[in-house]
Amino acid sequence: MKLVDELYDTYKDHFSADEEDIYPIIYGVLEAKTKEDIFDQLNELSQENLCEMVTLYIIDQLQKKLAEEGIGHVTLGQDYTGDYLQ
């Protein structure tokens, strides 16, 4: 995705292994764009990349809901023995 490449090239020296650094940068960039700008970028995605993006969004939202209600067990195909959402 062109936006990802542009963000990487611009901010690669600001990113660390901690994803907490990434969120404010991404939110700031997206807040400066119009809804139409964002849709234009999404229209450039392949079907596979768009599905991947929506899948990740849905997983994130479901994990937040589970965490808010204090239910569920996080695995996502990996063994996180004893890691329950609180």
Residue 86 lies in a domain: no
- Residue 86 pLDDT: 47
Whether 83 maps to a domain, the answer reads no
Query: Is it the case that residue 79 has pLDDT exceeding 80?
Result: no
- Whether the predicted pLDDT of 80 surpasses 60: no
Q: For the whole model, what pTM was predicted? A: 0.64
Query: How many domains, the chain?
Result: 1
How far apart are the C-alpha atoms of 4 and 47, rounded to whole Å? 17
Quick: pLDDT tens for 4-49: 898 889 888 887 777 777 888 889 999 999 999 999 999 999 999 9
76 part of a folded domain? no
User: Does 77 reside within a domain?
Assistant: no
In a domain, 80, yes or no: no
Sequence-distant (6+) residues with CB within 8 A of 66 are 72, 85
Q: Which parts of the chain fold into alpha helices (H)?
A: 2-11, 22-31, 35-43, 47-69
Report if residue 8 sits inside a domain. Answer: yes
Domain assignment of residue 56, given as a range: 2-69
